Amino acid sequence: MSMPIRIALVGCGRIARTHFDAIANVDGLSLVAVCDEVESRAREAGASLDVPWFTDFAKMLADAECDAVVVATPSGLHPAHGIAAARAGKHVICEKPMATSLAGADDLVRACDDAKVQLFVVKQNRLNPAIQLLRRAIDKGRFGRIYVANTTVWWSRPQEYYDQAPWRGTWEFDGGAILNQASHYVDLMQWLVGPVESVMAKTATLARRIEAEDTGIAVLKFRSGALGSIQVTMLTHPKNLEGSLTILGEKGSAKIGGTAVNKVEHWSFADYDDDDKQVEQASTAPQSVYGFGHAGYYRNVLAALRGEMRADTDGRGGRKSLELILAIYESAKSGREVALPLK
């Protein structure tokens, strides 16, 4: 159990470097191979990391001696790549969202169950210090009854971003602003405030030449009776403005803001707690919207694979936020309130 966990990665695109850096910074993990269908990306990653590179995923699974595979390909390909890895006996570490459909998510969960391998879904924003502080306040009951929750993702993705790859902004492989860019924020809403009973939503493609939406707003009713809202756009001028989460309750109110839920912007409770001393140090200044959570996420993966603790976010946990996103899309398409769980 003291041997390093050997990790291979498929999909050497935008998020891959964050994974490479996190794996390198966690003792007990070792990157052993990379793969991308674009030869130049695979070669560049392999050369810079001094590991074998592949353009054929099946060949990497057959030839690279690894214990787990990171799936960082376009979202619509996550189930197929994860299932192939599971059937090869590899644990699966899947980027968000784990699929673009519930059927795909369920197929991936089932394949990992059948192969008796673990499935992890990357939700690194849960580990932001400010979000962890907020979670403790909820767990301690400091808010009392929660009345309202809101998440706002005012980001910017110019047309050039979507034009970089033909799969971006497509329903089959990517989804829109809510499924792709805001999926972590939808996850935080259900993880922090609890299960959602129903949702109503409107989405629009206002400015970008893509199939899916560049803007969307949803109204949530939680099973607890609390109300919530999700506001998302990729049209903010000229750059990312805000990625925030606000909770208002009978005994407290808090807002975690910044561009990527990285800064405590408001923190007020009726009763004092020693956690209040940590508000200032809980704020961070990440260089990108990915934040600093990937290394912590991989430490949990390592501990789970060694049998020392449970996975923070497994396949079933990752499915919850996907189901909520798909309910938002169903409501926007039908014009009706949609109940959860989806049938």
Tell me the pLDDT tens digit for each residue of 76-132.
Answer: 999 999 999 999 999 999 999 999 999 999 999 999 999 999 999 999 999 999 999
- % of the chain exceeding 70 in pLDDT: 99
SS3 content of the chain, % helix, strand, coil (to 5): 35, 25, 40
pLDDT number for residue 158: 98
Distance CA 276, CA 281 (A): 10
pLDDT number for residue 292: 75
pLDDT number for residue 84: 98
β-strands 91-94, 119-121 pairing = parallel
Binned at pLDDT 50, 70 and 90, residue 286 comes out as: confident
Distance CA 160, CA 182 (A): 19
**Kind plus residue range of the DSSP H or E element containing 54:** strand 53-54
**CB proximity list for 313: less than 8 A, separation 6 or greater:** 120, 121, 122, 123, 126
Backbone angles phi, psi at 121, to 5 degrees: -115, 130
Backbone angles phi, psi at 242, to 5 degrees: -155, 140
Q: Identify the residue with better confidence: 291 or 284.
A: 284
pLDDT number for residue 267: 98
Q: Is the pLDDT of residue 190 over 80?
A: yes
**Contact present, 293 and 128 (Cβ < 8 Å):** yes
What domains, with CATH codes, occur in the chain?
A: 5-122 (3.40.50.720), 125-287+322-339 (3.30.360.10)
pLDDT number for residue 289: 79
User: What digits encode the pLDDT tens for the residues 217-231?
Assistant: 999 999 999 999 999
Summary mean pLDDT of the chain: 96
pLDDT number for residue 110: 98
**CB proximity list for 206: less than 8 A, separation 6 or greater:** 214, 215, 233, 235
Distance CA 298, CA 281 (A): 23
User: What digits encode the pLDDT tens for the residues 292-340?
Assistant: 789 999 999 999 999 999 999 999 999 999 999 999 999 999 999 999 9
Q: Is the pLDDT of residue 287 over 90?
A: no
Of 25, 104, 36, whose CA–CA distance to 70 is shortest?
Answer: 36
Q: Is the pLDDT of residue 1 over 90?
A: no
Provide the 8-state DSSP code for 140.
Answer: T
Lowest mean per-residue pLDDT among 47-51, 186-190, 206-210, 292-296? 292-296
Distance CA 255, CA 245 (A): 6
pLDDT number for residue 13: 95
Lowest mean per-residue pLDDT among 52-56, 209-213, 238-242, 283-287? 283-287
pLDDT number for residue 291: 78
- % of the chain exceeding 90 in pLDDT: 96
Helices (H) and strands (E) in the chain, counts: 10, 14
pLDDT number for residue 288: 78
3-class secondary structure, 254: strand
pLDDT number for residue 106: 98
User: What digits encode the pLDDT tens for the residues 4-32?
Assistant: 999 999 999 999 999 999 999 999 999 99
